[in-house]
Amino acid sequence: MDFRERILAAVSHEEPDRVPVMGLIMDPATVSKTLGKKPANFTGMLRKPLLRNMIPGLMNVNWFWNRFYYGNTAGALESAIKLGFDANWTIYYLFQLRKDTRSTTGWAWHDAYGRLWEMGVDEDSGMTVNYSRALCETEEQWESWIEQKSNLFETLIRNVADFHKKLVDDYGNRIMPIGFATPGIFENSWQPIGFVNFTKFIFQKPDFVKRVISFYTDLYIKNLEAVMKSGVEVVFGGDDFGHKTGPMLRPELIERFFGESYRRVTDLVHSRKRKYIHHSCGNIYQLLDRFIDWGFDGIVTLEPTAGMELGKVREQVGHKLVLIGNLDVAYLLVRGTRDEVEMAVRKAIKDAARGGGYILSSSHSHPLVDPTRLKWMVEAAHKYGKYPINI
Amino acid sequence: MMISDTLERLKSGLLDLDMDTAVDAARSIAETGDTHAIKDAVDTVTNALQTVGKRFQDGDWFLTELVYASEISKEIMNILSPLMETRALESAGTIVVGTVAGDLHDLGKNIFINYARSAGFRVIDLGVDVSVQKFITAVKEYKPFALGMSCLLTSTDKEIQKVIQQLNEQNIRDRVKVIIGGAALTEEFSRSVGADAFAPDAVTGTDIVKKWSAA
């Protein structure tokens, strides 16, 4: 079997020749280390007078941003190929660089949806980017934002289609790019507003919350269609519904606010004969049955630091969901020994891979995830993951 | 209306997540100017938040309900706190709290701060992206019995270890108990860096510092 056949068999709950391995976002630091490249010191450049004036001008031009961003993702796929992964998710963001006095660097990324992303620096001077705060904290600010950004949303959808198509064209014969439509409807509903404000609105202005969700559902459907135009055969979506110890919202509230939206999502993806795999961080045991009901085909990440155990999940959902992930990134894939990585891979395969329906991967990405450990993960998958599973 | 009825409205407003009822009851109590009634109202909020915490820990309530109850209590305390007698403001002890350097997430930290303040603690909030030196300076300046560090990102968890190392090097580790929490952290990590406790959520964190304070 080749990588494509292996992944497609696994997501159809058939036994491939061996357990497939995939990569998630692939942090730029991990990519640089894998490819032996020194990361560009982007925040350092922004401190230099000449570049400080030039960089934002370039970054905020659509074609330049797309070229810059494509280069990063292409690097991630090169890195995934080098590590021996069968697939890797591909994800598009449209950021604009803005001055920001509250940010430590004096600059921050604003995305099209109204979220502010802070820049930081990793150990090797590479740039880290994390969602930090909301840009539309009131109903009025949100309404104004979506009105002002209507052209940007159209640009975004066009960019998504072009981006994924180019990746499939350029890399589809060497690895399976799995198109990730992001941000998910829940995240995109609360992050531009902020979690505390969003919570208040749920209780005080539920009709406003429904309007926000409806707007982002329509946009998400367009985003998914753009991703699927590329020809990707498996689609990922992402919404962190869980936190450390459980769902962020009462499951009944999640159903009331997001159930219809996600049924629309899976209806669309299935009508195009594709699989919809959902990414959610956190402890999501209480949501798994709901995900099945919504028509999700699989779930990716399964964070062990939030108490997610593969064996327990498989016992709960059987083969109604494809399971992806669960290898720890707090210790194992950062500092774990070769033996520890091998034993963790063996256990994951033992707990989840019988009958297909399991793809091995890390449970997340961050700058300290070590390529050597990722390589050990792949080697252990080849050692223990041959079907029929006999461990 | 009797004060006891108003206190009951205050409690039910908070536990039914009815902001308007709770705030209205708090205003009614404030308007009486009765310091005993105000003290009783603050005790009512404290007890109601303990119920909220238990509901969360038992899995009956979720993060949104915990956050909203915390916001309601904040509104109530904004009305009542300025009217409290100085003696009533004496705290159960001081806690210094911050999110470690390189990390800008503060949701869990802020929920913890609200619950700890409602439990009677004086909380010094150092904010986010707090350097090792800033933590150390705050421990020396405020002399807290507990230091809380929050960390969402795995890539910044080493900052916790640096702070604890500095506390040791400056011979002030035995003056302060260290509690840590955040998505990136685990019980094992807490033990490995020499923290005194790991809190998987803000309510458990408040319970832990209460135990330390009472000891």
Largest separation between any pair of C-alpha atoms in chain B: 59
Q: Are strands A234-238 and A176-181 parallel, antiparallel or unpaired?
A: parallel
Nearest to A341 by CA among A351, A355, A331: A331
The one-letter amino acid code at A14 reads E
Phi, psi at B93, each rounded to 5°: 140, 165
- Please name which of A199, A302, A69 lies closest in space to residue B70, comparing C-alpha atoms: A199
pLDDT tens figures, A132-170: 899 999 999 999 999 999 999 999 999 999 999 999 999
User: Hey, which CATH number is domain A3-384, 3.20.20.210, 3.40.50.920, 3.40.50.300, 3.30.360.10?
Assistant: 3.20.20.210
Distance from CA of A201 to the nearest CA of B (A): 10
Q: Please name the amino acid found at residue B106.
A: D
* A104 near B CB under 8 A: yes
- C-alpha distances in Å from residue B202, one per residue of A104, A306, A338, B53: 27, 15, 36, 9
Query: Are A199 and B105 an interchain contact pair (Cβ–Cβ within 8 Å)?
Result: no
Phi, psi of B177 (to 5 degrees): -85, 140
Contact B200 A366 (CB under 8 A): no
pLDDT given for residue B62 in this prediction: 95
Task: Tell me the domain boundaries of chain B.
Answer: 3-89, 94-214
Interface contact B67-A245, CB threshold 8 A: no
The first and second tokens of residue B24, run together, are 């209205």
A256 three-state secondary structure: helix
pLDDT in tens, B78-127: 999 888 765 555 678 999 999 998 887 788 898 899 889 888 899 999 99
B154 and A250 within 8 Å at the Cβ level: the answer is: no
Question: Over chain A, what is the mean pLDDT?
Answer: 95
State the helix-helix crossing angle for B158-169 and B132-142, rounded to 10 degrees: 50
**CATH number of the domain at B94-214, please?**
3.40.50.280
Under 8 Å between Cβ of B184 and B171: no
Q: Which residues make beta-bridge pairs with A115?
A: A134
For residue B104, give every residue at least 6 positions away whose Cβ sits within 8 Å of its Cβ, in sequence order, or none: A118, A130, A132, A133, B128, B129
When pLDDT is averaged across residues A304-308 and rounded to a whole number, the result is: 94
Convert the pLDDT of each residue in B134-189 to its tens digit. 999 999 999 999 999 999 877 788 899 999 999 999 999 999 999 999 887 889 89
Predicted confidence (pLDDT) per residue in A291-302, tens digit: 999 999 999 999
**Is A51 touching B (CB cutoff 8 A)?**
no
CB A62 within 8 Å of CB A129: no
Q: What is the pLDDT of residue B90?
A: 62
CB-CB neighbors (< 8 A) of A308 in chain B: none
| B73: pLDDT strictly greater than 80 | yes
What pLDDT is attached to residue B155?
74
**Which CATH architecture describes the domain B3-89?**
Orthogonal Bundle (1.10)
**Where exactly are the structural domains of chain A?**
3-384
Q: What single-letter amino acid sits at A32?
A: S
Q: Mark residue A26 as left, alpha or beta (left: phi above 0; alpha: psi -120 to 50; beta: remaining).
A: left
β-bridge partners, A134? A115
**Residue B159 is encoded by which pair of tokens?**
């900052």
Contact B188 A331 (CB under 8 A): yes
Regarding pTM above 0.80, the answer is yes
- Which among A127, A129, A105, A101 is positioned nearest to A115, based on CA atoms? A129
Spacing of C-alpha B170 from chain mean position: 27
Cα end-to-end distance, chain B, whole Å: 41
The two three-digit tokens of residue A180, written as one number: 């990730």
Q: Where are the alpha helices (DSSP H) in B81-157?
A: 107-118, 132-142
pLDDT at position B191: 94
Which uninterrupted H or E stretch holds A178?
strand A176-181
Average of per-residue pLDDT across A122-137: 87
Does residue A324 sit in helix, strand or coil?
Answer: strand
Nearest to A104 among B62, B129, B188 (CB): B129
Mean pLDDT of A202-225: 97
In this predicted model, what pLDDT tens digit does every residue of A334-380 receive, in sequence order? Answer: 999 999 999 999 999 999 999 999 999 999 998 899 999 999 999 99
DSSP state of A39: P
Task: Report whether A250 contacts B62 (CB < 8 A).
Answer: yes
State how far residue A54 is from chain B, nearest Cα, in angstroms: 26
What is the percent of chain A with per-residue pLDDT over 70, rounded to a whole number? 100
CB contact under 8 A, A367 and B188: no
Q: Do A250 and B62 touch (CB under 8 A)?
A: yes
A252 in contact with chain B, both atoms CB, cutoff 8 A = no
Selected residue of A123, A186, A203 to mutate for chain B interface (largest B Cβ count, 10 A): A203
Distance from CA of A75 to the nearest CA of B (A): 21
Q: What is the pLDDT of residues A231-278, one digit of tens each?
A: 999 999 989 999 999 999 999 999 999 999 999 999 999 999 999 999
Runs of H (alpha helix) within A27-105:
28-35, 42-47, 49-59, 62-83
Q: Do A330 and B129 touch (CB under 8 A)?
A: no
The CA distance from A147 to A149, in Å, is: 6
Reference B61, options B78, B46, B42, B48; nearest CA is B48
A196: nearest CB among B61, B71, B102 = B71
Which residues on B lie below 8 Å from A367 (Cβ)? 155
Identify residues of B whose CB sits under 8 angstroms from chain A CBs.
17, 19, 59, 61-65, 67-68, 71, 102, 104-105, 107, 110, 129, 153-155, 157, 182-186, 188-189, 200-201
Residues 6+ apart with CB under 8 A from A205: A139
A122 interface with B at CB cutoff 8 Å: yes
User: Which pLDDT belongs to residue B92?
Assistant: 86
Burial class, A105, CB count within 10 angstroms (exposed 0-12 / middle 13-18 / buried 19+): middle
Predicted confidence (pLDDT) per residue in A310-346, tens digit: 999 999 999 999 999 999 999 999 999 999 999 999 9
